[in-house]
Amino acid sequence: MAITLAIRPRVVFGILGTTLDTGKGPKRWERWRPTVSLCQQDNFVVDRLELIHGKRATRLAQTIIEDIASVSPETEVVQHTVDMNDPWDFEEVYSVLHEFATEYQFDTDREDYLVHITTGTHVAQICNFLLTESRYFPARLIQTSPPRKAADGLGSFSIIDLDLSRYDRLAARFEREHTDAITSLKGGIETRNAAFNRLIERIEHVAARTTDPMLITGPTGAGKSRLAGRIYDLRKHRRLVAGNLIEVNCATLRGDGAMSTLFGHRKGAFTGAASDRSGLLLSADGGVLFLDEIGELGLDEQAMLLRAIEERKFLPFGADSEVQSDFQLIVGTNRDLAGRVRSGDFREDLLARINLWTFELPALRDRPEDIEPNLEFELQRYARDRGQQTRLSTEARKQFLEFAIGPAGLWPGNFRDLGAAVTRMATLAPGGRISRDVVTEETERLRRSWYQHTAGEHPELNRLLGPASVENIDLFDRVQLEAVIQVCQRSHSLSEAGRTLFAATRERRTSVNDSDRLRKYLAKFELSWDDVNAGM
């Protein structure tokens, strides 16, 4: 015989209904018995029924098994006798079913699973629902309903897939919610950078599904704190968190005050502790705690924090007993925490605990596409905060973006820089209109301040020529010149420096004048051997 069955065998888990499934004598066939009815459907075959029941229901189970054999010879019934003393006790029923689901060898590739939720106490139905929803049962739900006219007890059935995204109408709603969540995480900014958008999608997925610690890394001003606030808003909106968002920058916590600020203290715990203080961790109970610059946290505080994360308990300074706080943790850092672990400044176990979901926010200069929408956002924010609309003329906007996206746009302070730039331009804009002149002034200011910022990269050059002149030298030349000057400073003579600098070409040439070549190069920048070595 060769009937090709493409469908996976159907396996149904069901609790024997000690009320609904009962019935004695021939009359039982006129009753609607959900477990039997499940196997009596014209257009639905149960290949295997995993029938769960208590010891006291063994006889009823026997009747049901025989009746199923009669109406559904295709169905194999596997009996599972469980210890359930009180089927109305949530804890007991949940643990029995949970254990059952955990120990069951599921093979979802080969078999199609369904959980029958019509039988059992309401408590059991709820437990089955929860276990299916949390995928302990990798199954869909099946529900049987009594017949409209009680004639043969057949009734009907319907299958409920808890993957709600499968339902068209619900899917549309979910899609909308998902989009709203993404938009809110982006602060309403229509970002265009693909990598950043992917990152936000991932954060949305994680933020809405877990309350585990999240670690946000990225350079200063990349928006870590803002993102933490938006994650909090999203969780609050989805009712995943009830309490407040407590934000603290660990760089501001120093000494005794650090312990006390975070974990609180009892009155008299130390000099100056005039009254009880609850501390930020307790304030975050039921809410979200955002610890920015976690890398700056002292080792003692790290140890306390780890315990607070793991045990949800900690000991306030000077207290005899521990207090409890159940908070969700988000931490931010611009440091290389792994490096701090290696140098002994950061606890490895704490890093392991917070390093579960790590998201790296890119620097603004790595997201050039997003500068324009963020510019727009900052302008609107200015308008909202100051109650004054400000616009960029088309020309001015073009000029600003050319600078911002171009090679000069270093944005070391990231969004903090951009926000400040917009605030300055908007404030200086005559009649709410930012002109080319205002933009020119601002870009010059930025250039200069970033120059200061990057001055450390070419110390000798700055010392010899002064920042103003260095600014006029291309980065291309700046790098080379800095290296040349450093070689000169290490050499005893011009010719020795020349030999070092032109060593490679020297090998291939017969007659060379390295000293001359070096002298001419330095002269291009109005520098001489003596200038370079002056004060050395």
Q: Tokens in use for 289?
A: 């705690």
Distance in Å, CB of 53 to other proteins, minimum: 22
CB closer to other proteins, 154 vs 171: 154
Q: Report how far residue 317's alpha carbon sits from residue 474's, in angstroms, rounded to the nearest whole number.
A: 56
Q: Is residue 274 a contact point for other proteins (CB under 8 A)?
A: no
Distance in Å, CB of 76 to other proteins, minimum: 13
Q: Which of 19, 59, 73, 456 contacts other proteins by CB under 8 A?
A: 73
**Integer CA distances (angstroms), 376 to 59, 283, 447, in order:** 74, 36, 21
CB closer to other proteins, 38 vs 308: 38
CB closer to other proteins, 41 vs 423: 41
Distance in Å, CB of 156 to other proteins, minimum: 10
Number of residues that bind other proteins (CB under 8 A): 31
Please give the single-letter amino acid code of residue 290: F
Binding marks (x or -) toward other proteins, 22..61, rule CB under 8 A? Answer: ---xxx-xx--------xxxxxxx----------------
Q: Answer positive or negative: Cα dihedral of 302, 307, 310, 313.
A: negative
Spell out the SS3 assignment of 124-154.
Answer: HHHHHHHHHHCCCCCCEEEEEECCCCCCCCC
* Helix pair angle (371-386, 394-405), 10° resolution: 120
Residue identified by tokens 């900690």 is 314
Distance in Å, CB of 45 to other proteins, minimum: 6
Distance in Å, CB of 58 to other proteins, minimum: 20
CB closer to other proteins, 113 vs 415: 113
Question: Considering only residues 115-174, where is the footprint of other proteins by CB under 8 A?
Answer: 151-154
Window contacting other proteins (CB under 8 A); options: 72-80, 264-272, 282-290, 387-395: 72-80
CB closer to other proteins, 75 vs 125: 75
Q: Report how far residue 206's alpha carbon sits from residue 187's, in angstroms, rounded to the nearest whole number.
A: 17
CB closer to other proteins, 147 vs 459: 147
Please give the single-letter amino acid code of residue 394: T
CB closer to other proteins, 71 vs 512: 71
Q: Count CB neighbours of 513 within 10 A.
A: 12
Distance in Å, CB of 26 to other proteins, minimum: 2
Number of residues written out for the chain = 536
Distance in Å, CB of 37 to other proteins, minimum: 9
Distance in Å, CB of 70 to other proteins, minimum: 4
Contact between residue 338 and residue 224 where contact means Cβ atoms under 8 Å apart: no
CB closer to other proteins, 45 vs 299: 45
Q: Which candidate, 442, 348, 437, 433, places its Cα nearest to that of 404? A: 442
Please give the single-letter amino acid code of residue 213: P
* Helix pair angle (436-455, 415-428), 10° resolution: 140
Binding residues for other proteins, rule: CB under 8 A, are 1-7, 25-27, 29-30, 39-45, 67, 69-75, 151-154
